[in-house]
A and B are shown apart, each in its own frame.
Chain A
């Protein structure tokens, strides 16, 4: 299903409940009544095309916003990505961490497991934080620089030797540890006493993984193509300038 502006926002959530997470990042709150997607966007001062691109990429693996991509400003994209980072680091991760800390085993011999799982989670958490910090401190400023040059607001050519290709290669392994943690819980950890909690942790890990995948897809299909396009144009301008000199 491709989500469009004239659908009722409430219906969209009924069909694809996971976009509720995305709505929060846009500052859209529930209590939507019968308002259409477009009406909700207007009321919240959100660019409709951008909202549709994000929710469709989020929900549909094969969707690509070919037509509308050029209309989105970098700030808009970055703002959305930063909000998702905030959600991971300040909502999702602490919630899972709290549950992990409550895991317990009857047998004191299993005390090691508590230590192990906690420590493993901490390494994952740090990795996620490092990753998001790197994006916010290196990648996003670079992208804004590219946009400035592209729009002619900055006379310099490119802000640094960095290119979005480097980022494209580097940004991948976030799911590796998450996958390992799921497998450790499913296959190798002695079952803890509070197994319901253990299941809830597992569900949360699966959900986080899926959400991170969707997030990565937005970077791959909205952010990276947009930056690449600008990089190409700038490189072309650069070479034609040289020819003229």
Chain B
């Protein structure tokens, strides 16, 4: 069975133990550490490499200590555990989800599961995301699609021919289109250039 590990970072032992009890009722969920300050949290993250960190932002007394914790997250998902409503939006936005002190057990499990779902959805979409062209690549593509050589592309964009070739290689990798006429078709379909501007496809 898939196991998901948790670190709970909360200064109240009662709250932390209660949260751990609720989480471990769900099959596959395992709480590996309870910690109560930012330094311990950062250490535990580095050592235990959990799937989830459930953190009460209040335990980080300074912005610096909060950033330290975030920097040690690695691939862990962070869920905020809030006991009051006075958190800055910018702080809460750093988390994937939020569990409130007054949420019941079902709500808590559902919040964790929704983060898990999001995680896997994102995984599926990763290739698609990665294939988006950068602005620079789009401008290179436009020129290639109108029939310019690598050298001419370089001259137009004030980059070396070598850089133009590298951009072109990335474009080909991202789009899965190798030939110039194929790139022209892509550029026209995506309205980057007009049909009449394209390399004449004969």
- Which residues of A have CB within 8 Å of B190? 188
A-B contacts, 18 of them at CB < 8 A, read A112-B189, A116-B188, A116-B189, A119-B201, A120-B181, A120-B182, A123-B202, A126-B202, A177-B179, A177-B182, A179-B176, A181-B182, A184-B182, A184-B189, A187-B176, A188-B175, A188-B189, A188-B190
Count CB-based A-B contacts (< 8 Å).
Answer: 56
- Which residues of A have CB within 8 Å of B195? 112, 115-116
Interface membership of A199, Cβ < 8 A: no
**Most-contacted residue by chain B among A119, A120, A180, A183 (CB, 10 A):** A180
Interface membership of B185, Cβ < 8 A: yes
**Contact A179 to B178, CB < 8 A, known contacts A112-B195, A115-B195, A188-B190:** yes
Q: From residue A3, how far is it (CB to closest CB) to chain B in Å?
A: 35
- Which residues of B have CB within 8 Å of A123? 181, 201-202
**Most-contacted residue by chain A among B175, B176, B179 (CB, 10 A):** B179
When chains A and B are docked, how far (Å) is the Cα of A188 from the Cα of B190? 8
Interface membership of A113, Cβ < 8 A: yes
When chains A and B are docked, how far (Å) is the Cα of A188 from the Cα of B175? 9
When chains A and B are docked, how far (Å) is the Cα of A17 from the Cα of B185? 35
When chains A and B are docked, how far (Å) is the Cα of A113 from the Cα of B191? 11
From 168 to 202 in chain B, residues with beta carbon under 8 angstroms from any chain A beta carbon are 175-179, 181-182, 185-186, 188-190, 195, 201-202
Q: From residue B172, how far is it (CB to closest CB) to chain A in Å?
A: 10
Interface membership of A42, Cβ < 8 A: no
**Most-contacted residue by chain B among A117, A179, A188 (CB, 10 A):** A188
How would residues 163 to 195 of chain A score, 1 for a CB under 8 Å from any chain B CB and 0 otherwise?
000000000000011011101100111100000
- Which residues of A have CB within 8 Å of B201? 116, 119-120, 122-123
- Which residues of B have CB within 8 Å of A115? 195
Q: From residue A123, how far is it (CB to closest CB) to chain B in Å?
A: 5
